[in-house]
Amino acid sequence: MGRGVKELLSDFGHDLPHHPPSPTATAVPGPFTHATSWRGPRRAGAGWAASRPPVRQYRMTSDQVGLYWPLTTATPMAATGAPMGVDVLNGSTFYVDPHGWIQDDQIPVTNPNIFIFGKPGRGKSAWVKAFCNRMFAFGYQALILGDPKDEYELLCRHFGVEPFAIGPGMPARLNPLDPGPLAAGWNKLTRAERDHKSGLIFGRWLVLLRSLIGCQTIGDHRVPVGPTEEQILKAVLDTLTRHDTDSRELRPIVLPQVWAVLNNPSSELIDATRFPDRWRFLEETRLLRDAVAQLTTGALAGIFDAPTSITIDWQAPIQSMSLSRLAGLGDQATGMALACLSSWGSAMREGGGHRINIRDEAWKQLRLGPDAVASFDQDLRLSRAHGDIEIAVSHKPSDYQSAGHAGTQAQQIAKDLLHLADIKVLYGQDADVADDLDHLLDLRPLARDAITGWAMHRTGRALICVGPHTHKVHLALHPDLELPLTHTNHNLAPS
């Protein structure tokens, strides 16, 4: 590089006059620095963010903090799991990590289950879909145990999975009395193991049969399933499986076999159930037999009364059973199908891995009656033994109570059921449901106002209860990827 005039003159001892540098104002950093907009930086290639970027950090003493941010609190949760929106109280990303929370002593959560409540159309199912989508990255798999509106089909197809279509005339058969992987290698089990497993399998079958029979009505009354009916059903299951006398395998059974044995009882069955003769047996069990017959000849005939014909791909990120074809048969048929799938799904568990079991529109099943609530309760407990995340979606907490009259055992079960989920996502509700929420979930007035006010003002706003702590969280969906997959308002759009 050539030398300049300044350097040449300086060789001869001359210095050119020069301007003194102008005193530039040195920027004094203020306490508030610039944070990127939650929409992301405005430039090509930079774009939408699932949540706001991490909050800026400031250093000051704790007595100064209260002056700048009088109402905010820090999020005590670690940034692990699915980012599920913005905690509006402090602007930070709210992460949902049920399994991580259980292991963290600071977070008062002892089970990974999530119950979601909210008025229709507030975004409950969208939350579930976004949660699954964001948990798949951590190796989780989702099983939709009944999709009454076929709304999970888009999500399934997005991941290259074809959902199972269940309904009259469809080829898929699902046997709710399938013993599932629990019965694998039966002949190699010790006597004690066989007793333990048969207790689990029979317990599930009985509770399901009680719920399917008990939800049928004669006028205003439900078909009674008391201790006598339960003993008869137990004896029928024993007769069919012969698990006491035959240790080679646990025979899978189907509903029509239960009816056939009841309708044509053997002398052993009559003895086992302590009826004096065949005539008395048939006379006393007429209602029970007719109710069982309804399961194989009624609305659900040809769907849940044959050996299971579908194979679940345990490697796929998501599997779903579409039930919209049952819609024409009424809410009760859909509720019964959900009960069958819920029970079946809790037994179909093999291998390790983390699974998310989803029971959307669970209220349809719970409305079937006290036995259906008990069956739902048992399914959740059974799945919980595997550490799966159970998600149940309903409109309001009292859905879980409506099955029983005040003060009955069903109401107590329904109340206890709410304690099976330490995580609750509460979407907007009308004021008249607020009392329910207060009463059942012990919410404080601020939380109650958030649900009936703040959460009602925009879709995607929810109060997330993590144990006794509540967080106001706004979930943003990706406009191109997630919104189209969660869109359920097609029918409401003007044509």
Ligand X SMILES: Nc1ncnc2c1ncn2[C@@H]1O[C@H](COP(=O)(O)OP(=O)(O)OP(=O)(O)O)[C@@H](O)[C@H]1O
C-beta closer to ligand X: residue 120 or 160: 120
Longest dimension (CA), the chain: 134
What, of ligand X, Mg ion, none, does residue 126 touch, CB below 5 to 8 Å by kind?
ligand X
Smallest distance from the beta carbon of 123 to Mg ion, in angstroms?
8
Smallest distance from the beta carbon of 459 to ligand X, in angstroms?
4
What's the first-to-final CA gap in the chain, in angstroms?
73
What, of ligand X, Mg ion, none, does residue 276 touch, CB below 5 to 8 Å by kind?
none
Strand order in the sheet with 141-147: 92-96, 82-87, 469-474, 461-466, 423-426, 114-117, 389-394, 355-359, 141-147, 318-322, 164-165
DSSP string, 177-197: T--GGGGTTGGGS-HHHHHHH
Does residue 365 belong to the site contacting Mg ion (CB under 5 A)? no
Smallest distance from the beta carbon of 59 to ligand X, in angstroms?
35
What, of ligand X, Mg ion, none, does residue 113 touch, CB below 5 to 8 Å by kind?
none
Binding mask 74-113 for Mg ion (x = CB under 5 A): ----------------------------------------
Residues in the interface with Mg ion (CB under 5 A) total: 1
Smallest distance from the beta carbon of 463 to ligand X, in angstroms?
14
Does residue 486 belong to the site contacting Mg ion (CB under 5 A)? no
What, of Mg ion, ligand X, none, does residue 343 touch, CB below 5 to 8 Å by kind?
none
What, of ligand X, Mg ion, none, does residue 370 touch, CB below 5 to 8 Å by kind?
none
Smallest distance from the beta carbon of 381 to Mg ion, in angstroms?
25
DSSP state of 73: -
Smallest distance from the beta carbon of 485 to ligand X, in angstroms?
8
Q: Which residue in this structure is represented by tokens 């006393």?
A: 284
DSSP state of 422: S
Give me the residue whose beta carbon is nearest to ligand X.
460
Does residue 320 belong to the site contacting Mg ion (CB under 5 A)? no
C-beta closer to Mg ion: residue 245 or 491: 491
C-beta closer to Mg ion: residue 223 or 358: 358
Alpha-carbon distance of 200 to 191, in angstroms, equals 14
Smallest distance from the beta carbon of 393 to Mg ion, in angstroms?
6
C-beta closer to ligand X: residue 405 or 487: 487
DSSP state of 138: G
Region for residue 379 given its phi and psi (left: phi exceeds 0; alpha: psi -120 to 50; beta: otherwise): alpha
CA-closest candidate to residue 207, choices 303, 347, 96: 347
DSSP state of 360: T
What, of Mg ion, ligand X, none, does residue 477 touch, CB below 5 to 8 Å by kind?
ligand X
152-167 burial by CB neighbour count: b if 16+ within 10 A, else e? Answer: bbebbebeebebbbbb
**Stretch 286-305 residues interacting with Mg ion (CB under 5 A):** none
For residues 216 and 298, the answer to whether their CB atoms sit within 8 Å is: no
Contact region for Mg ion (CB under 5 A) — 70-78, 96-104, 118-126, 174-182?
Answer: 118-126
Alpha-carbon distance of 108 to 366, in angstroms, equals 28
What, of ligand X, Mg ion, none, does residue 433 touch, CB below 5 to 8 Å by kind?
none
What, of Mg ion, ligand X, none, does residue 404 touch, CB below 5 to 8 Å by kind?
none
Smallest distance from the beta carbon of 54 to ligand X, in angstroms?
21
For residues 141 and 318, the answer to whether their CB atoms sit within 8 Å is: yes
Smallest distance from the beta carbon of 127 to Mg ion, in angstroms?
9
Smallest distance from the beta carbon of 147 to Mg ion, in angstroms?
10
Binding-site ranges for ligand X (CB under 6 A): 118, 120-126, 459-460, 475, 477, 483, 486-489
- Cα distances from 220 to residues 217, 227, 339, 466, in angstroms, run 7, 22, 21, 40
Does residue 125 belong to the site contacting Mg ion (CB under 5 A)? yes
Contact region for Mg ion (CB under 5 A) — 120-128, 236-244, 249-257, 298-306?
Answer: 120-128
User: Which parts of 138-224 are beta strand (E)?
Assistant: 141-147, 164-165, 217-218, 221-222
For residues 236 and 269, the answer to whether their CB atoms sit within 8 Å is: yes
Binding site for Mg ion (CB under 5 A): 125
